């Protein structure tokens, strides 16, 4: 029997958080090794574990996988969260891609100056409410089903819920005016594996704090400031 997937990343969200979400949604237990020192990171580099010299890295099924999208695609396919045919997979890829774009605006947020954070917060909310949430509201209306693709729970649903909750951390009432997304959020959050992941004590990470930012900067030797959009 194969061991549990093992995740190599920082003790925080970043690009690994969507991988945690998807594994949790699939009901898969996983282990984590948190990078806290430059030496840990350099060891991974030296033993050839990081093909492109970057994390996240996940050990799964005898592979050391890097590149977030490749890892997510593999997990989705392995655990039947990637649609029933090529057309459904294409739709899932399209919706996940859109959600990724929105998440990208949020991932840089912890690394911004205080002034830039306020600008970025407004930018995130504006993009969510004028571009991304209207699109998913329309998808749900036109599709007429409980889920984004087909009538089955998929990676697209997991990713969208994660994004919604991330934006709500920036503005709690951001779903006002999006009744289908409000219902979607409640529905997907009640799926047993998701509900478990949303409970205190799970492996879901909190909003990134100063300690997380300092650790990432130190381990990766980030000598430059991140700029707002």
**Chain segment 176-210, per-residue pLDDT in tens:** 999 999 999 999 999 999 999 999 999 999 999 99
Cis peptide before 47 (omega within 30 of 0): no
Burial class (CB in 10 A: 0-12, 13-18, 19+), 123: middle
Task: Name the token pair of 209.
Answer: 């704090």
Q: Which fold has domain 6-79+198-220?
A: Glutaredoxin (3.40.30)
- Whether the pLDDT of residue 225 is over 70: the answer is no
Four-way CATH pick for 86-190: 1.20.1050.10, 3.40.190.100, 3.20.20.70, 1.10.260.40: 1.20.1050.10
Q: Which of the 8 DSSP states describes residue 130?
A: I
pTM equals 0.95
Confidence category of residue 148, pLDDT binned at 50, 70, 90: very high
Task: Name the token pair of 93.
Answer: 């890829």
């Amino acid at each position: 029997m194969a061991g549990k997937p093992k995740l190599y990343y920082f003790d925080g969200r970043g690009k690994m958080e969507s991988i945690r979400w998807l594994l949790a949604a699939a009901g898969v237990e996983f282990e984590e090794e948190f990078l806290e020192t430059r030496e840990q990171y350099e060891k991974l580099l030296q033993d050839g574990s990081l093909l492109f010299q970057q994390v996240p890295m996940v050990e799964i099924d005898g592979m050391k996988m890097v590149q977030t999208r490749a890892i997510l695609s593999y997990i989705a396919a392995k655990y039947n969260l990637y649609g029933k045919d090529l057309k459904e997979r294409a739709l899932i890829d399209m919706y996940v891609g859109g959600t990724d774009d929105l998440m990208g605006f949020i991932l840089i947020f912890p690394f911004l100056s205080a002034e830039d954070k306020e600008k970025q917060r407004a930018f995130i909310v504006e993009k969510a409410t004028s571009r991304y949430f209207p699109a998913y509201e329309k998808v749900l209306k036109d599709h007429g089903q409980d889920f984004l693709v087909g009538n089955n729970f998929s990676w697209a649903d997991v990713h969208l819920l994660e994004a919604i909750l991330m934006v709500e951390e920036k503005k709690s009432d951001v779903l006002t005016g999006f009744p289908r997304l409000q219902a979607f959020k409640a529905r997907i959050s009640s799926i047993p594996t998701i509900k478990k992941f949303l409970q205190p004590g799970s492996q879901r990470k909190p909003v990134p704090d100063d300690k997380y930012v300092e650790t990432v900067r130190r381990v990766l030797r980030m000598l430059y400031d991140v700029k707002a959009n």
